[in-house]
Each structure stands twice: as C-alpha cells, then as structure tokens.
Amino acid sequence: MILESISSIETIKEFCSKNFTDSSPFMDYHFFRLMEKTKCTNFNSGWLPEHIIIKDKKEIIGFIPNFKKLNSFGEYVFDQIFENAYHQTNSEYFPKFLSATPFTPVTRAKFVYSSKRLDNQKILNLLIKFLKKREISSFHANFINFETSNFLEKHDFYKRVGIQYHWKNRSFKDFNDFLNSLKSRKKKSIIKERKSLKERRINFVRKQGKMIKENDMEELFNCYLCTINKKWSQAYLNRDFFVKLISTPIARKMLIISAYDQKKFLGSSVHFIGKDTLYGRYWGSLEEVPYLHFELCYYQAIEFAIEEKLKKIEAGAQGEHKISRGYTPCLTYSNHWFNNDILRKPIKKYLEKENKRIIDAMPFLEKYTPFTEGL
C-alpha cells in the first residue's frame, strides 16, 4: 500500500463516483471540481489541490481530500497561533496540508473515502511517513466527527475543539409549534421581528433545484459581495462559481430564499439540503432592512426544515446571537499533526488547555437557550 498526491480531483473522477460520498453535500466530486474550474482553489487563493490517494497493487483504494495551503484564509479553524510559534522558532509554516472542504465549516462523516474496509492505523502511519518525506510543516483535518477525531488523537494528530450553533428539530408540527416551545420573552421577540417585515409588505420566495435560474445566482453573488464588503472580508468565491453551480448535480440540493419589497429585490440566502440536515451558507442584502438577516437565514430555514422533516440546521461558524433564535451550542472537532520536534509538546499542552476552556463554556452557553424545557 502506497500514498501519492494528485493536483486535480478530475484525475480520479471514476473513483469518486463510487466512493466519494458523504452526509455533507459539499464533500462531493462536483463541488471540488467546480472550485478548480472556476479558479477558486488555485495558487492565487492559496488553496492548491493536492489530494492524497491510497493505492494497493496499482489500484486506487482510498482518497483523502487535501490541499496545499499557502495561507490560513477560509478555514474557520484559526491557526495563526501555530503560524506565530513556527515563526518564533525560525521554521516555515507554509506550505501546510489541510484536509477540509474549501471555505465551508461543515463536519464530514469520513477522513478516508473508500468503499472498502481499510486498515486506518496503517494508513495513518503511511501518511506520517509521506508528510515527513515531503517535508510538510503540518497536517490539519478540519471539521471531522467525534469518533474520527478520537482515533486521530491516539496517533499524535492533536484534537482541537470548537463551537458552532445548530438548530435541532424536536418533531415540530409547524413554526408556531416551534415558537410555543420557547420562553415567552424569546417567543415575543421573534414574533415582533417577523411582524415588522410583514408590515413592510416584504415577501419571501423559495426556489429549489431546477427552479433556480442564472439570474437568481447573479443576485445571490451580488448579495454575497455586499456581505463580504460590510465585513471587510475576502471574497473566496467568484461570479463564475455561483453561476456554474446550477449546471452541476449539486443544484438539486440547493435552496434559495429571496426577499422582495413588492417586485423590488432586497436580498437572498442560499442553503444546501443534506441527508437529514439543512446547511445555511451565504446571504446578503442590497438594502439595510431591520431583521431581514434573521428571516432569510434563520426563520425561513426553520420553516423549511420543519416542513421537510429535516433533523437539523447548521448555519455556519460562530454567532452567539443564534442562541436566542433557537440554535444551540454544539462542539466541533479538528485534528492537527506538526512536523516540528520543538513545538509538538508545547502545542499539545496549549490545545489541551484551550479544549478544556471551550468544553467548560458549554454549560454556561446552554443556560441561555430559549427553550422552556432546556436542551
């Protein structure tokens, strides 16, 4: 069994069609390939595809999605403290390796993708040899599940814990049923926010799959840029990516929610439908309208999830303000391997302390959940 790297996922299209599947709609050949074709993942963005394939007797038996990173942009697991530590020891941190979905903080089900039962311990041993031979500074696996994280931790891929806020469906009959599960003050606040938009006669339109047209994607891209500019952030995705997305099989999993003042377009949000989860991704508005963000990103999504009997909504990274809208804190996991004998032990100690602080914060955050019966 050997490990090799490839510079384009197109090289293993046939293998991906049979093996690269996940509960997340973003861990998908078409999503990764579109990122390449529209130049979202390239040298200029600092996301160079360098996927790792596992071969046995010249047959590809496994695949680890991977990128050679020239910066730390678009990862949602902030590692500048590691970069600074490398700098202080006169070591180069970049390029590093990152196994993750580009620009997308969504947990995936697998670390290695294969339809065969593989010896994961043997693969990790080969991976470490592979990284050392390539003189890679570090390897990072972002947004993996709890079980995978525990396994990697046992093999010196140090665990790092984070927090996201997810909405969970308690078998609600409709949105009013959800409201009735909230404390009176929180319920009144949401009713007030929604009423404000109704009084302004703002209406909302949902489109799925084939209903979504190029014009919808153009509007969404403009909204995306507005949000980026307001945050003084960086646009990782381009117009080409947005427009071409609807010509891929991923379009079947898309939900766009648009807001209108009569016929005047105000803003929109895009969500992706997984096996049992709705993933909120991008949003923006061309005008400042109070409470529009909450409606486009949260309340419309909750209504949709209830109607479709989805179990959960993941609305992206960060955001304690989501708690009062019914989103509860959940732990996320990433694992990190460092090719630096001087820093390995100090980083491990730092992460152990950081993880404890985050885990200890969970009961505090849970006190602020808006539900009458708690979590």
Highest CATH level, class, for 170-310: alpha beta
Confidence of residue 374 (pLDDT cuts 50, 70, 90): low
| Token pair of 323 as six digits | 């708690």
Residue 99 has pLDDT above 90, yes or no: yes
- The domains of the chain are located at 2-163+330-366, 170-310
Q: Is the fold of 2-163+330-366 the same as that of 170-310?
A: yes
Nearest-angstrom CA–CA distance, 99 and 136: 13
- Helix residue spans in the chain (DSSP H): 13-19, 29-37, 80-88, 120-133, 146-153, 175-180, 184-199, 214-230, 239-245, 292-294, 300-307, 344-366
Nearest-angstrom CA–CA distance, 96 and 136: 6
Instruction: Characterize 108-118 residue by residue with b for buried, 16 or more Cβ atoms within 10 angstroms of its Cβ, and e for exposed.
Output: bebbbbbeeeb
Three-class SS state of 283: strand
pLDDT for residue 373: 83
Highest mean pLDDT among 20-24, 94-98, 320-324: 94-98
Confidence of residue 318 (pLDDT cuts 50, 70, 90): confident
* CB atoms near residue 89 (< 10 Å): 11
Tell me the CATH number for domain 2-163+330-366: 3.40.630.30
Q: What is the pLDDT of residues 105-153, one digit of tens each?
A: 999 999 999 999 999 999 999 999 999 999 999 999 999 999 999 999 9
Q: What is the pLDDT of residues 51-93, one digit of tens each?
A: 999 999 999 999 999 999 999 999 999 999 999 999 999 999 9
Phi, psi of 271, rounded to the nearest 5 degrees: -130, 155
Phi, psi of 226, rounded to the nearest 5 degrees: -60, -45
pLDDT for residue 375: 58
